[in-house]
């Protein structure tokens, strides 16, 4: 196992030097694509994990997450909107994705073995802190059961270790209330299922 991890650690920098273009990666956050993903199966979660992988790879090459996300979102033609199928709030999404990238670093999600998993949209393993050894999950700040239109919104996804995710369940947290305010300010989204 150690030899496989070492091999991966040696190969990843070589792969990272050939980064895909922002346009090629823009499908991960494209609101038209996210709005048409099948509802109820958390399709946006794999895109979120892949996006965290690519933010990391660009950062390794000297491009800050904020600059990466600005370029990525410049590839979209859509104006911000909120409807019953999807909510697209690019300012809130970029801020959330930056915060989630930092949180991923705090959980130790960007190890060589985790990067292999994230690149494919799979769950990484927490390697730092109290929850070391647990799978990381994607949670919805505003619970899916209360706002299904936010299921695949990059503004609403967050890392959470499995134990914490099971404890939280569909509870409304202070983070959910803050996210509601941000979405209302940016796109006029009103949380009807509270």
Per-residue pLDDT tens for 129-174?
A: 999 999 999 999 999 989 999 999 999 999 999 999 989 877 888 9
Tally the residues of the chain.
Answer: 194
CA distance 75 to 111: 29
In a domain, 104, yes or no: yes
Domain containing 182: what range?
A: 8-187
Q: Is residue 179 part of a domain?
A: yes
The answer to whether position 132 is within a domain reads: yes
- Note whether residue 1 is domain-resident: no
Report yes or no on 89 lying in a domain: yes
For 63-94, the pLDDT digits (tens) are: 999 999 999 999 999 999 999 999 999 999 99
Q: Are 151 and 140 in contact, with CB atoms under 8 Å apart?
A: yes
Alpha helix ranges (H) inside the chain: 2-16, 22-25, 31-36, 43-60, 65-74, 90-106, 112-119, 162-168, 174-187
Q: How many CA atoms lie within 13 A of 5 on its CB side?
A: 7
Which tens digits make up the pLDDT trace of 50-70?
A: 999 999 999 999 999 999 999
CA 13 to chain CA centroid, Å, is 22
Q: Return the structure tokens found at 158.
A: 């967050």
What predicted TM-score, i.e. pTM, was given to this entire model? 0.88
What's the CA gap between 57 and 119, in Å, rounded?
A: 10
Q: At a CB cut-off of 8 Å and minimum separation 6, what does 95 contact?
A: 182
Residue 96 lies in a domain: yes
Give domain status of residue 3, yes or no: no
Give the number of domains in the chain: 1
Does 194 map to a domain?
no
């Amino acid at each position: 196992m150690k030899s496989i991890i070492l091999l991966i650690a040696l190969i990843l920098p070589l792969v990272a030097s050939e980064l895909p273009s922002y346009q090629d990666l823009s499908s991960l956050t494209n609101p038209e694509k996210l709005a048409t993903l099948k509802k109820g199966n958390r399709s946006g979660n794999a895109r979120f994990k892949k996006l965290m992988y690519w933010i990391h790879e660009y950062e390794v090459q000297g491009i800050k997450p904020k600059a990466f996300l600005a370029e990525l979102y410049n590839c979209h033609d859509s104006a911000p909107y909120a409807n019953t199928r999807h909510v697209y709030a690019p300012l809130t999404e970029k801020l959330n994705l930056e915060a989630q990238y930092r949180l991923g670093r705090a959980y130790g999600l960007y190890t060589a073995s985790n990067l292999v998993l994230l690149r494919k949209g799979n769950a990484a393993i927490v390697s730092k802190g109290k929850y070391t050894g647990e799978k990381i999950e994607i949670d919805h700040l505003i619970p899916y059961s209360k706002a299904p239109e936010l299921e695949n919104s990059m503004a609403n996804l967050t890392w959470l270790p499995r134990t914490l995710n099971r404890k939280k369940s569909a509870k409304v947290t202070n983070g959910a209330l803050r996210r509601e305010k941000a979405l209302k300010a940016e796109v006029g989204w009103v949380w009807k299922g509270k």
